[in-house]
Structure 1
């Protein structure tokens, strides 16, 4: 269990921060950018959860938030980590199963959809693009646990399908109309 005795450490005042292996790196390091992007995605999902309380989707999102903490822990220890936490394939498989189950309740898409619809769906799309940004940041790091980018890729798919579910089984999906803004 993690124990946090102090929040203010002053250790990062000079633009450096510590990784999980004790090494110090610049706060502009690509690994720190990736960790921050994963944290931002987690916060976006937290905002989405304000719209899913009391719904079965809230439990899925709670598991995702815990997974994203594990992703951050994985990313903060470069190289071989020994007994350190590493994301496994199990959460990837869980996301795939949830996507399949949610998608089975939806009409087949015949067009791209515009992000939006209900408040919950719009927040789901914001979380989805945050996850996509985190995925790109993780790929820029280079040497990472190969499960991490797969997990983030599945998570963005999961959030897309979830956003459609949150549009009350796609009744509120707004379809993209090619050239609709042309005069």
Structure 2
């Protein structure tokens, strides 16, 4: 089966519920940006060292399919009948993880550079794409009905990606410091400096 259909050759694309819209429409721009965010999250996940973070990001990727699917549907009842949707519980779960990680990480009192490690930097890229997607969703909500829970989830997701970036940076910096101490100890033993 071919991956191309030729149906978009005239500048329109098909939606989940069968309708067609211009590829430059606000709807397509919005779900396309969430798709871009999802790809960035996938990329970031490959660099993560914390196993839980990897699992959380994979779960988020599946949730973003729900976000994109809902936005890609002009008649939301058709999407609701065929799929799960982002719920208040999904947003609450993000908040719970954000609160848990915030309590574990060192306090900060200023802006931070986006990413000390490769994982942290990539998560910050995903965070900024998520913010752009959220701005698009807010703009799109001026022309079409968007469930408030979708807006809340998008807003919380960028905060979640921020805290995971900090988590990865903190973990890897701590790990590097331990490696440095072990190396210094081994060097000292090798030089007879016990």
CA distance in 2, matches of 1:52, 1:126: 14
Distance 1:29 1:95, change over 3 A: same
The CA deviation at 1:148 is: 1.3
- 1:117-168 Cα offsets, whole Å, 9 max, x none, are 1111111100100100110111111121221121111010011111111112
- SS of 1:65 mapped into structure 2: helix
State the partner residue of 1:56: 52
Alignment partner of 1:152 out of 127, 151, 154? 154
Aligned residues: 168
1:164–1:6 distance in 2 versus 1, CA, 3 Å: same
Contact 1:21 1:77 survives alignment (8 Å): yes
- After superposition, the C-alpha distances for 1:10-45 in whole angstroms (9 at most, x for unaligned) are 111110011112111100000000010000000000
Runs of 4+ in 1 over 4 A off after TM superposition: 169-172
Q: Which residue of 1 aligns with 2:102?
A: 103
Equivalence for 2:31: 35
Decide whether the 8 Å contact of 1:47 with 1:123 is kept in 2: yes
1:78 touches 1:144 (CA, 8 Å); kept in 2? no
8 Å Cα contact 1:105-1:169 kept in structure 2: no
Q: Report the CA distance shift for 1:158/1:164 in structure 2 as closer, same or farther (over 3 A).
A: same
Contact 2:91 2:153 in 1 (8 A): yes
Map 1:77-88 → 2, pairs under 5 A: 77-82=73-78, 83-85=81-83, 86-88=85-87
Structure 2 unaligned spans of 5+: 175-194
Q: CA RMSD in A?
A: 1.8
Distance in 1, matches of 2:110 and 2:100, equals 21
| Higher relative helix content | 2
User: What does the per-residue CA deviation read over 1:72-116, in whole Å, with 9 as the maximum and x for residues that have no partner?
Assistant: 111111244151433211211111111111111111111111112
Larger radius of gyration: 2
Secondary structure, aligned partner of 1:168: helix
Q: Does 1:17 align with 2:17?
A: no
